[in-house]
Amino acid sequence: MTALARLSARFSRIAALEEAAGMLHWDAAAMMPEGGAAARAEQLATLAGLSHELLIAPEVAADLAAAEAEGEWQAANLRLMRRAHARAACLPTALVERSARANSACEKLWRRAKAAADFALVAPALSEVLACQREIAARLSDALGLSPYDSLMDGHQPGVTAAEVEPVFAAYEAFLREALPRAEAIQAAKPAPIPLPGPFPAAAQRALCRSLAERVGLEPAHFRLDESLHPFCGGTPTDVRITTFYDEADVAKALLGVLHESGHALYERGLPAAWARQPVGQAAGMAVHESQSLIIEMQACRSDAFLSWLGPRLHEAFGGDPAPYAPENLARVWRRVGRGFIRVDADELTYPAHVILRFRLERALIAGELEVPELPAAWNEGMRGLLGITPPDDAKGCLQDIHWHDGAFGYFPSYTLGAMAAAQLMAAARAVTAGLDEALARGDLSPLVGWLRAKVHAQGARLGFQDLLREATGKPLDPADFMAHLTRRYLTA
């Protein structure tokens, strides 16, 4: 075997281990009884250690030095292998396993702490997670020549740094300061939305959500829809797992959540099968992934066109007065601007403020400028500064997200970078896809998904975030497209 063939076989084996770990994570969130937590933590730590040891074995460095690639995809794959090895080689296996155990233990405590709105329950475990992440960041920083926080960001969205994100977020904060009061005033001058009546039986929601996931393009043989405390998309490209939760008083939580996760799932399903289990055949990063969930949920499925198709289906599923399901009323209900505490419930105008807050706090945590016991107060102060509101308790404040408790630092910027990229991609798709809105009005996302398949999904990780946008839209990330979208949707009287 050539050096490149040996590397390809090794990375395929690593990917299979990571797929197994992903399924165990899904099971822990959706199926596992509470008593299995300790054993599951050990299983995940063992798999993390095995993957790490495969990646840092001495022969890998020799093969990476000797390998020669032919063609653009092979060259990109070899480049990504070298990047993965460089990130792994500086981390001792013991640290990788310690971090995995800390994350599993903290995640389980977080569930109890959130339910009790008691940050003290999880604070010691979160301190251990943070200690691991600081050590990992410091080692990566030395090896990669990045700041500690940038080295963590690079693990979620390669090639994007805090220095690039800061001015984008500062510009958005300035835009929001003027846009939010305007949007609130415009909204107040319009008729109040008619609340969707409910109740919405969970069984009917489940059936509707599944049918919508299939409607946007997911094949029944390749996905599952289950329940968990925090909605997510996991699994593998051929076995995609979506989770959501059902609130019988509010159909939007599950329905819009499943549309969001279906965007993630479509991306996984569309990755290049010829490069399966190779670095270049994987997603291009979490900001790209978020762009795919948000172009489906926010850009397409909350559009006037799609709501005109969806309204009658909702009325058919739940009955009662048809007026609340009129598309103009659904738009007023599901595109309502409000200063809320919960990120996942936020409208798309205020959502970036939630991300900006987390970006600033996690940078300070990694830098040692903020310690875990200080987090609730810092969170509340940041919320007051950005949205003028103060959470009544930690469940609606710093306990609301799973990410830090599961070791995901440097992840949050991807949400808003993805929202901005989604608006840019949608503008480009509309410019070249005739009849896109007419198709959405028929509940048909195939023209949009077909364009995304070619321009984003099929590209795998061949291109970085900015180059992917350049090829798809003709320019790198341009937040002006996102602000123009928000202006049209929220700031037009």
Q: Report d(CA 407, CA 125) in Å as an integer.
A: 11
Query: Which is the catalytic residue, given 19, 107, 261, 297?
Result: 261
List Cβ neighbours of 163 (8 Å cut-off, separation of 6 or more): 150
Report the 10 Å Cβ neighbour count for 21. 19
Q: How far apart are the first and last CA of the chain?
A: 66
Q: Would you say the C-alpha torsion 165, 168, 174, 176 has a positive or negative sign? A: negative
Measured distance CA(231)–CA(29) in Å, rounded:
9
Residue 93 CA to residue 490 CA, distance in Å, equals: 50
Residue 247: which residues within 8 A CB-CB, separation 6 or more? 200, 253, 254
Q: Are 159 and 466 in contact (CB under 8 A)?
A: yes
d(CA 273, CA 478): 30
DSSP state of 297: I
Helix axes 413-432, 465-473, angle to 10 degrees: 20
261 annotated active-site: yes
Whether residue 191 has a cis bond before it, omega within 30° of 0: no
Give me the active site residues, please.
261
